[in-house]
Structure 1
Amino acid sequence: MADDEIDYNIVFPDAGTSERHWQGTKEPVVILLGWAGCRDKHLSKYSSIYNEQGCVTIRYTVPLKTVFISESFGYKEMARTALKLLEILSDYEVENSPIFFHIFSNGGFMLYRYIVELLQSDEQFGSLRVVGAVVDSAPGGVNVRGALRALAANLGPRVSPAVRYVLLALFAVAVFLLRVMLYRVTKYVHKNHYDAVQERPPTWPHFYLYSKADRMVRHTDIEVFVEALKQKGVAGDTLDFVSSPHVCHFQHFPEQYALKCRDFLVACMKDLEGAETKKRHRVQNE
């Protein structure tokens, strides 16, 4: 459905499916954040992984101009979007359910960065229980070549070669100046998503799905990022699909992909149940 300010889709499972999978506990709410240029019909294929598991799903993709223009030039437009997305939880009265994220590429991870910051600093979201996050083909550090490939893919054949060349050239110059040459200064005004989340990481576990064949996000960026978070005590598992292109792991390995996502969600929910049981016992013994 469409909100007055942001376009999103929310799907509720039937009661029988939820009860079968979650046996009387609150079913998780899975928030899927699409990659730049992602169409909802593609994102819905991923949400079906969780709908079949009896989960509520919310799908949202940041507009292209926000990813490639607003964020590149330091306009924190996504921060407002992050707030609106979290407010949807109370609008549908699911704010007391466990929250799980599934994030795609840098386009989704940029928005996730602002959601994490809100969850860390805004008191109105202090009661939300995030249990984990799957991260597909992200995060990538500063990579001008990869960013150009992503933009070129999203411009598509409808854009004339001359206009395409001009847009790519302007984008390359802007990214190189603001995110490479001048980043030592500009980071104090607007830090990139890769550095921001690495410096103040969320505490819940993450599962990173990537591939050495990815030509837009370097696999080494993801591996370095995961290791840096592990050193800060943040759990992070990884799965290298080796041969699949950027955000195409599900397309190439559908059964393995879906199984790994579901298994990780179930493990996160068991961790939550165990933590809440320990908390109840501690309160009873006080």
Structure 2
Amino acid sequence: MADEEIDYNIVFPDAATSERHWQGTKEPVVILLGWAGCKDKHLSKYSSIYNEQGCVTIRYTAPLKTVFISESFGYKELSSTALKLLEILFDYEVENSPICFHVFSNGGFMLYRYIVELLHSDEQFSSLCVIGAVVDSAPGSGNVRGALRALTATLGPKISPVLRYVLLALFAVTVFLLRVVLYPITKYIHKNHYDAVQEKPPAWPHFYLYSRGDQVIRHRDIELFVEAVKQKGVPVDSFDFVSSPHVGHFREFPEQYTLKCREFLATCMKDSDGTDMKKRHRVRNP
């Protein structure tokens, strides 16, 4: 079973809270995909936004090696992780509930990319009803400097300076060669997350939360991505917090961030009440 193979946390709301917010309808399941190096104690603060609204939440953060190494070398290890995460819905018998994603940084978006691909192509998941996705501080593309900043923050202060320098140097060379210099060729073998989702975006609504003050993901990358998927007919909204750091919008603006996430979820739930909307979100992209 999937829950024996990956390290995740699932929280069910009490019946009274769920009934108060959703009044007899199935409460939504919110799947939170953490940023690289994210501690569960930090991700749990975001899940409380939804738990207090009577939602089921599933929290998961991909291991560092899969984000910084496997993806850099084009090894699709996160594809099997995506499969296991979706199987959790069936393990806990919540596969008939409305599903929403909350995705953080490139680390979460890399995993989200494979989830989207499975939802588009795998018959096992064709009945799932995805109603929307919140994307925090992502996606970014071809930003070696930002990737190095993310890895530096992830390694933390305890690692020796020599080892830190070696790891950063190796990572920089690898990313620059495979994801910048050789990418016009390597993309035919393994597209990056940015291009893959932009070319075949999912049909459900998205809400991108970002900041011009982000030193890891360029705000222009997110804005260009949003415009590109809008042109393909995907319902997309975005909000610029202007001054907050990378994945720091909730920390800097907790009330505003919480309100925006809850309003987006409520809108998605309202829109999904119609049979036509449910069918549209369930249909896989051609």
- TM-score range (shorter-chain normalised) is over 0.9
**1:259-281 deviation per Cα after TM superposition (whole angstroms, max 9, x unaligned):** 000000000001001345998xx
Describe the superposition over 1:25-80 as per-residue Cα deviations: whole angstroms up to 9, x where unpaired.
Answer: 00000000000000000000000000000000000000111100011111100000
CA root-mean-square deviation: 1.2
1:56 aligns with 56
**Measured at CA, do residues 203 and 165 of structure 1 come closer, stay the same or move farther in structure 2, by a change above 3 Å?**
same
**Code of the aligned partner of 2:37:** G
One-letter amino acid of the counterpart of residue 244, structure 2? S
The alignment of Structure 1 onto Structure 2 pairs a total of residues equal to 278
Matched, 1:185 2:180: no
Cα deviation for residue 3 of structure 1 reads: 3.1
For 1:68 and 1:277, the matched residues in 2 are separated by 37
Identify which of structures 1 and 2 has the higher relative contact order when contacts are C-alpha pairs closer than 8 Å and 6+ apart: 2
Q: Describe the SS at the equivalent of 1:3.
A: helix
Q: Give 1:11's aligned residue.
A: 11
Match of 2:122 in 1: 122
Tell me, what secondary structure is at the counterpart of 2:134? strand
Aligned ranges 1:24-173 → 2 under 5 Å: 24-173=24-173
4+ runs deviating over 6 angstroms: none
- Measured after TM superposition, the shift of residue 7 of structure 1 is 0.2
- Corresponding residue SS for 1:273: coil
Tell me if the contact between 2:129 and 2:278 (Cα under 8 Å) persists in the aligned partners.
no
2: CA distance, partners of 1:154 / 1:198? 27
2-structure distance, mates of 1:3, 1:165: 37
Match of 1:14, as an amino acid?
A: D
The 2-side partners of 1:198 and 1:119 are apart by 15
State the TM-score, normalizing by the size of structure 2: 0.95
Deviation per CA, 1:129-188: give whole Å up to 9, x if none.
000000000000110000000001111111111111111111000001000111111111
For 1:112 and 1:159, the matched residues in 2 are separated by 29
Structure 1 residues 91 and 165, CA gap change in structure 2 (3 angstroms): same
Amino acid of the residue matched to residue 256 of structure 1? Answer: Q
8 A Cα contact 2:209 2:240, kept in partner: yes
TM-score (norm 1): 0.95
The separation in 2 between residues aligned to 1:62 and 1:6, in whole angstroms, is: 9
Answer whether contact 2:133 2:206 (CA < 8 A) is retained. yes
Q: In structure 2, how many angstroms separate the alpha carbons of the residues matched to 1:158 and 1:234?
A: 44
State the SS of the aligned residue for 2:225: helix
3-state SS in 2 of match to 1:72: coil
Q: 2:19, 2:262 → 1: CA distance?
A: 16
3-state SS of 2:3 partner? coil
Partners of 1:184 and 1:220 in 2: how far apart?
21
1:206-217 equivalences under 5 Å are 206-217=206-217
The SS at the match of 2:207 is strand
CA drift of 1:5 comes to 1.0
How many Å separate the matches in 1 of 2:165 and 2:81?
30
Gaps of at least 5 residues in structure 1 are 280-286
Q: Could you tell me which amino acid in structure 1 is paired with residue 226 of structure 2?
A: V
Specify every segment of 5 or more residues in structure 2 that has no aligned partner in the other structure, as ranges.
Answer: 280-286
**1:283 aligned residue:** none
- Residues 278 and 200 of structure 1: CA distance in aligned 2, closer, same or farther (over 3 Å): closer
**Would you say the 8 A contact 2:21–2:53 is kept in 1?**
yes
Number of the residue aligned with 1:261: 261
* Counterpart residue type for residue 17 of structure 2: T
- Residue 20 (structure 1) aligns with: 20
Q: Percent identity?
A: 81
Alignment partner, residue 237 of structure 1: 237
* Deviation at residue 82 of structure 1 after TM alignment: 0.1
Flag the 1:49–1:256 CA change in 2: closer, same or farther, 3 A.
same
